[in-house]
Structure 1
Amino acid sequence: MLQDVAVHPADTPTPDPLDPSAMRAQYRAEGLTEAELAPSPYDQFARWFKEAATSGLHEPNAMVVSTADAAGRPSSRTVLLKRFDEHGFVFFTNYGSRKGRDLAQNPYVSLLFPWHPLARQVIVTGTAARIGRDETAAYFRTRPHGSQLGAWASDQSTPVASRAELERAYDDLAARYPEGEQVPAPPHWGGVRVVAQTVEFWQGRENRLHDRLRYEREGAGEGWSVVRLAP
């Protein structure tokens, strides 16, 4: 005969703090409704970006950029957004880097802004293209001197023999272009603009019933429709 066994609190296993399956977070109660949305995803992004920036969130312009090569093999990395408007989202990179090579073969890209402290995400899908050299040069001049030299010193995504080799390349450039001297923008480095086809605004809600509202471009025009997605 089976007998009932009393389970005492002391007999209950203590959750492993390093076990991902035991990690739980309850998201915010306030949500996102269709009536609250701005007319365009870029306007709505501006609203959320301002809230992220003023909340004290570290690097609110940090985004995960996902690309795929000609064979469809994906790769992702964190990149800093440097500009956005109704024409798209702009970041800068070495065109010879892995993401630069991917985009030359396959222009489809995804951007993810993971604003975890606000229980928010913004997910952009679209196509990428290089911006003009004048735009690139204008931005390059605003970068700190050291970052300008770094763009020349680093052959991004290629193997390097040692840290010392990288630092030697930087030191050689620092001697050639001392502080205060104008550094030209590298021809292999520049901006990429992502023109959105869809932009999803994800707001975490209680009981995992999140709000997901996605703008979708209507045909080849400038209009947008909005669809609510199940969480």
Structure 2
Amino acid sequence: MSTDTAAPTDFTLADEPYALFQAWMKDAEASEPNDPNAMAVATVDESGLPNVRMVLLKGYDPHGFVFYTNYESQKGREILSAGKAALLFHWKSLRRQIRIRGPVEAVSAEEADAYYASRPRDSRIGAWASRQSRPLESRVALEKAVAEYALKYAIGEVPRPPHWSGFRVKPATIEFWQDRPFRLHDRVVFTRAADGAWEKSRLYP
């Protein structure tokens, strides 16, 4: 794809990161063929070894960036243990990426309930059936668990499992990256100061 279609706006003049993130997400929603809200989530295990995987962003505002998961999964356990994570958005069609790092907090039960209720019924059943990240003896075992919970919750609402909820990454830094010719890319990083204000700086590519 020609870089002309992804010519950068002068994002280096932005004073704060959230409006800029919203603008770039809007561009991604118009250009990315699949899951513009997909992001890599990086965590670290007890030995200090990093892990990374793709999840979907489900909400964002000046308080942080929200996604949902099984708290008993590997990423859930690592986030609960370390209390911090890093995110990466990469939009190939726009030749842009955003990196976010910071502490993590659990979303409220009310937030988790509201999002869980918005999911397709089969996905809610799956949240009960999947012992995420743990050994699975066969595909048949998973399908059997799905069938059992589908029968259990055949009538009425499917409640949210106690181990299924959301995390909010509260950014300490947000870096915006835009591809430029000859690898002379534009990089702007916002760092949250002790008083909560954002400090902006440019980085060498």
Report the aligned-residue RMSD: 1.6
Aligned to 2:110: 134
SS at structure 1 position matched to 2:118: coil
Number of matched pairs: 204
Matched, 1:183 2:153: no
Equivalent residue for 2:199?
225
Q: Does 1:53 align with 2:34?
A: no
Residues 26 and 206, structure 1, Cα contact 8 Å, conserved in 2: no
Decide which structure has the larger Cα Rg and report it. Answer: 1
What residue identity is the alignment partner of 2:189? R
**For 1:193-223, what per-residue CA distance to the aligned partner results, in whole angstroms no more than 9, with x for missing partners?**
000000011100111110011111112x221
1:216 to 184, 191, 202: 191
Q: Cα distance 1:218–1:148, how it changes in 2: closer, same or farther (>3 A)?
A: same
Does residue 1:79 correspond to 2:55, yes or no?
Answer: yes
- Structure 2 regions of 5+ residues with no counterpart? none
Contact 1:32 1:211 in 2 (8 A): no
Structure 2: distance between partners of 1:230 and 1:151: 44
Determine the C-alpha separation between the residues in 2 that align with 1:165 and 1:122.
39
- Out of 64, 72, 94, the residue aligned to residue 118 of structure 1 is 94
Query: Shift of the alpha carbon at 1:35?
Result: 5.1
- CA distance change for structure 1 residues 34 and 51 in 2, over 3 Å: closer, same or farther? closer
Instruction: Report the Cα distance in structure 1 between the residues aligned to 2:61 and 2:33, rounded to whole angstroms.
Output: 21
Which of 70, 74, 81 matches 2:46? Answer: 70
**Partners of 1:200 and 1:26 in 2: CA distance:** 24
Q: Please give the alpha-carbon distance, in whole angstroms, between the structure 1 residues aligned to 2:186 and 2:12.
A: 13
Length-normalised TM-score, structure 2: 0.94
Over 3 Å counting, the alpha-carbon distance change for 1:27 and 1:230 in structure 2 is farther
Runs ≥4 in structure 1, deviation > 4 angstroms? 25-29
Q: Which runs of 5+ in 1 are unaligned?
A: 1-24
Equivalent-residue separation in structure 1 for 2:86 and 2:30 (angstroms): 25
**2:178 corresponds to:** 203
**Contact 1:213-1:228 within 8 A present in 2 as well:** yes
Q: 1:40 aligns with which of 16, 39, 47?
A: 16
The TM-score with structure 1 as length reference comes to 0.84
Structure 1 residues 91-170: aligned runs within 5 Å: 91-170=67-146
Q: 1 CA distance for matches of 2:32 and 2:53?
A: 23
Give the direction of change, closer, same or farther, for the CA distance of 1:167–1:34 in structure 2 (3 Å limit): closer
| 3-state DSSP of counterpart to 2:172 | strand
- The code of the aligned residue for 2:161 comes to P
Alpha carbons 2:70, 2:76 under 8 Å: kept: yes
Q: Percent identity?
A: 44
